[in-house]
Structure 1
Amino acid sequence: MATHHARLWARWALCARGPGRVQRPGPRRFCCSGTAAADVRREEQAPGGAETGPADLTARKSFSEVQEGRREQAQRSVLIHCPSKVSEKKLLKYLSQHGPINNHFFYESFVDEQLNTLWKALQLTEENVRLRYLTCSLIEDVAAAYFPACTVRPFGSSVNTFGKLGCDLDMFLDLDEIGKRNVSKTSGSFLMEFQVKNVPSERIATQKILSVIGECLDHFGPGCVGVQKILNARCPLVRFSHQASGFQCDLTTNNRIALKSSELLYLYGSLDSRVRALVFAVRCWARAHALTSSIPGAWVTNFALTVMVIFFLQRRSPPVLPTLDSLKALADAEDRCVIEGNNCTFVQHLNKIQPSGNTETLESLLTEFFEYFGNFAFNKNSINIRQGREQNKPDSSPLHIQNPFETSLNISKNVSQSQLQKFVDLARESAWLLQQDEASTPAARPWGLAALLLPSGAEGGSLPRKQRKRPASERIRSLLESIKDNSPENVAGASGKRTSTHA
């Protein structure tokens, strides 16, 4: 049995602050053996005083509203490491001597092994989301020594609602907000300006900034270990482990398009509850069959899989999700966004988007997803969620998925032909397995999603090579035809096929 190491997140009520942006609290102390947590401003409780979940906090809110609320919450919090022998009740009683505790929670591991359902097991918990924003706030404290009033924002799976427990924490050092927060200049005869050194290019400036921050985190960042400065990558970054929270972190700057992509996925995930469930199922399926990997290589990425799910849902009749161009058409002047010459405009408020009239079940959508991409013409067509339709590939990459905002880029350029073929074969096999449920298969064989997650070669989880190459529709048709014929020979033949299929 794993040793229980509880950690506490708490909020204390302090003196009320004046209007305006929440002031940064004083230095946050950490015990040497772990981590510490508390909120420094009283927050309004939900009706009945119950703790609200992620869905309650983000319901119908825009991406920017959720981001700002989470950041303020993190700046009012600290994290406390609680050794296994310390009573949680006694700790709360001791802390309450320093002020009333308005809210708190204890948590254990980020990877919860006690799975009830795939959805509940994989999604980020409310506690985990808060811990991510808190970690960004702590790194922001370090960066603020060099860049006062800078902002460190989480992006990617931590905020786009598709993140799972244990996923990395991607952070964006935002320096553009510094100028916007300057107080109004005092009128007078003289004007003071701060000068910075000129650098040959923006990329070099980014590398120098991250190099300095990386050195600071390595030598002085509390709990920051294993710091790596990966400055020659397409997007320079600093990678490190944050011991206090347990997160593996990537810090970048000058990467605003990635933040906008996170907002787009957040929007799509909030439009229909089936979107997240389908993405989680497809990602879990891909990981079970080694189609994705945490190690860089020729694998399909989770982002590419998510875009493929969105594209598929745009292709349904009626569509489950709108195209990016239609979201752009709904945008107002306040939604306009151009980043490095790329038009990243789309409507931000969910209430401006008409809900889908599609009523297909999640099981049907999952089956159709595998059927669709099991027979997709990857050799000539690309995937484009801006227009929601298949287009001719602009290059010879095995898999071409257009970047939603940087349209000249292929987000799946790394995928090899062999990996794509493996994806197609497994998609056809999975469609066949899901359709077999409708043909009344033996009770001893795993059904539905359980069958899909069996590794290839396990019982019920793999098809012979000859059958795998055939389209799923042909295989299921042959199986049904053999079942319809009641002759002893055909019945024996059908049984033989099933035995070989699940060997």
Structure 2
Amino acid sequence: DAEVSTRKKTFAEVQTERLDQAERTVLIKCPSKLNEKKLLQYLSSHGNVRSHFFFENRGISALIEFSEKSSIASLQDAVGIPSASEYHVVPFKSRLFTFTLKKPVSQYVEETPLHLSPQCHIPVKDLIEKLCLADSVSSQMYILLNEYQLTEENIKLRFLACSLVQDFARAYFPDSTVKPFGSSVNTFGKLGSDVDMFLDFRDTGKHATKLKKGPFEMEYQMKRLPSERLATQRILSVIGDCLDNFGPGCVNVQKILNARCPLVKFSHQPTGFQCDLSVSNSIAIRSSELLYIYGCLDSRVRALVFTIRCWARVHGLTNSAPGTWITNFSLTMMVMFFLQQRSPPIIPTLDQLKELADEKDKHIIGGYDCSFVSDLRKIKPTKNTETLDVLLGEFFEYFGNFDFRKNSINLRK
């Protein structure tokens, strides 16, 4: 089962694999009438195409993953600079291309229409029709999950958006990486949600083998600033300007540098995502991994979370605009806590995951121990067999009687 084989990988393995995939990927804007075979034939002259799909986003686009990174360099060498009579182009050679047909269309067009991968969930009306055909509440909850969760194609697009931003960051910081965090990677992402990404310099230090032996040592001369916050603001300010001035399809760039967590917001038109870029956020990545583990342990976990979040949205309890409402993250935490309280528990507590951790799982962040096991095979499956419909009812019962004035929820114990 392909689903299980991807599920059993550790969070770090999945991230590494996807980041690598994204670096071998290009995005091509295509004409509305296109011969798929001819396009792939042309691209194959630059190297083996490992996978591809088409999607609709202000016209038709194709995401093309090559087997080798060198194929992209070969393609870039063969591609022309746009001739612009009324505009002047910024000569930044990215991995975004436009494919056009020179000859009259008729001989290129094939009979078979392109298969387009949907990048947003189905309209509510269609969803309700599907739900009405289900034979149980549990089945309905799984249908909701299947319709709203991120698809394989959408995840590839999210990692590509990060990889394209990384190309700019690497012009200044060659060892840096740009990685997604939060709902794009924690298995709880919904189609249409924003992409949270962060600029990571942690790999920069990994290559350093400081000369310890011998009578001398060498280190880089680097700009020194009074605080990490100021360094973060300066870096984001420059990357934000780059995206704004040179990034094809990067629009509405806003630098929000005085926020508690400084960030750059922008719309990435080629992939269709709203993006938030911040700098190294260790805690956010750890919580993404923790949710990834919980999401992989039992299929009921994600189905229950998606249902509760959908219920909250329909009743106006959550809102995409910032304000005093409860967030999806808080609702997700409530579901996790509830599942830990079942008898027998459906998911383990954080302390139990910490007990299973070994040396490589050690993470101390800001003086806090954030260690927990990363290998899913070490976690025993639950013996709890409650059905989803029962769990849904029990969730409302549990929190309906929960005294929030006296008690709080804590996933640790």
Same fold (TM over 0.5): yes
| Counterpart AA for 2:37 | K
Matches within 5 A, 1:458-477: none
Give the structure 2 partner of residue 437 of structure 1.
none
Matched, 1:277 2:303: yes
CA shift in 2, pair 1:85/1:185, >3 Å:
farther
- Find the partner of 1:88 among 33, 36, 56: 36
* Residue 101 (structure 1) shift: 2.7
CA shift in 2, pair 1:317/1:196, >3 Å:
same
* Residue 186 (structure 1) shift: 12
Q: For structure 1, list consecutive stretches of 5 or more residues without a partner in the other structure.
A: 1-51, 388-503
Matched, 1:76 2:24: yes
* Residue 222 (structure 1) shift: 2.2
> 2:212 and 2:405 mapped to 1: Cα distance?
63
> 2:224 and 2:375 mapped to 1: Cα distance?
40
CA shift in 2, pair 1:99/1:213, >3 Å:
closer
Identity %: 64
Residues 230 and 237, structure 1, Cα contact 8 Å, conserved in 2: yes
Matches within 5 A, 1:47-66: 55-56=3-4, 58-66=6-14
- Find the partner of 2:250 among 212, 219, 224: 224
* Residue 331 (structure 1) shift: 0.9
- Find the partner of 1:162 among 176, 188, 205: 188
Give the structure 1 partner of residue 119 of structure 2.
110
Matches within 5 A, 1:336-415: 336-387=362-413
Question: Greater CA deviation, 247-256 or 266-275?
Answer: 247-256
Residues 159 and 262, structure 1, Cα contact 8 Å, conserved in 2: yes
Matches within 5 A, 1:223-372: 223-372=249-398
CA shift in 2, pair 1:267/1:103, >3 Å:
same
Question: Greater CA deviation, 364-373 or 78-87?
Answer: 78-87
| Counterpart AA for 1:101 | V
* Residue 203 (structure 1) shift: 1.4
> 1:283 and 1:336 mapped to 2: Cα distance?
32
Write the deviation string for residues 163-204 of structure 1: whole angstroms up to 9, x where unpaired: 010011000111121121347879999865322222222112
* Residue 352 (structure 1) shift: 0.8
> 1:78 and 1:138 mapped to 2: Cα distance?
9
CA shift in 2, pair 1:356/1:223, >3 Å:
same
> 1:99 and 1:194 mapped to 2: Cα distance?
39
CA shift in 2, pair 1:183/1:221, >3 Å:
farther
For CA contacts below 8 A with separation 6 or more, give which structure has more relative contact order.
2
| Counterpart AA for 2:229 | R
Matches within 5 A, 1:488-499: none
| Counterpart AA for 1:253 | V
Question: Greater CA deviation, 291-300 or 189-198?
Answer: 189-198
- Find the partner of 1:202 among 228, 235, 251: 228
Residues 206 and 254, structure 1, Cα contact 8 Å, conserved in 2: no
> 1:290 and 1:171 mapped to 2: Cα distance?
27
> 1:76 and 1:57 mapped to 2: Cα distance?
22
Residues 210 and 253, structure 1, Cα contact 8 Å, conserved in 2: yes
Write the deviation string for residues 21-66 of structure 1: whole angstroms up to 9, x where unpaired: xxxxxxxxxxxxxxxxxxxxxxxxxxxxxxx96x356221111011
Write the deviation string for residues 453-480 of structure 1: whole angstroms up to 9, x where unpaired: xxxxxxxxxxxxxxxxxxxxxxxxxxxx
> 2:370 and 2:207 mapped to 1: Cα distance?
24
> 2:364 and 2:213 mapped to 1: Cα distance?
33
CA shift in 2, pair 1:182/1:57, >3 Å:
farther
| Matched residue SS, 2:171 | coil
Give the structure 1 partner of residue 164 of structure 2.
138
| Counterpart AA for 1:157 | S
**TM-score, reference length from structure 2:** 0.77
* Residue 289 (structure 1) shift: 1.1
> 1:97 and 1:385 mapped to 2: Cα distance?
53
Residues 235 and 255, structure 1, Cα contact 8 Å, conserved in 2: no
> 1:326 and 1:194 mapped to 2: Cα distance?
42
The structure whose Rg is larger is 1
Question: Greater CA deviation, 140-149 or 76-85?
Answer: 76-85
| Counterpart AA for 2:294 | Y
Write the deviation string for residues 59-89 of structure 1: whole angstroms up to 9, x where unpaired: 2111101110111111111111222222333
Write the deviation string for residues 312-335 of structure 1: whole angstroms up to 9, x where unpaired: 000101100111011111111111
> 1:174 and 1:94 mapped to 2: Cα distance?
36
| Counterpart AA for 2:38 | K
| Counterpart AA for 2:244 | D
**TM-score, reference length from structure 1:** 0.64
| Counterpart AA for 2:121 | D
Residues 179 and 199, structure 2, Cα contact 8 Å, conserved in 1: yes
- Find the partner of 2:174 among 138, 148, 158: 148
| Counterpart AA for 1:132 | R
Residues 264 and 278, structure 2, Cα contact 8 Å, conserved in 1: yes
Residues 183 and 189, structure 2, Cα contact 8 Å, conserved in 1: yes
CA shift in 2, pair 1:330/1:189, >3 Å:
closer
Question: Greater CA deviation, 330-339 or 261-270?
Answer: 330-339
> 2:26 and 2:395 mapped to 1: Cα distance?
44
The root-mean-square deviation of aligned C-alpha atoms, in Å, is 2.1
Residues 121 and 192, structure 2, Cα contact 8 Å, conserved in 1: no
| Counterpart AA for 1:241 | S
CA shift in 2, pair 1:150/1:57, >3 Å:
farther
Matched, 1:212 2:160: no
- Find the partner of 2:145 among 107, 111, 119: 119
> 1:112 and 1:263 mapped to 2: Cα distance?
25
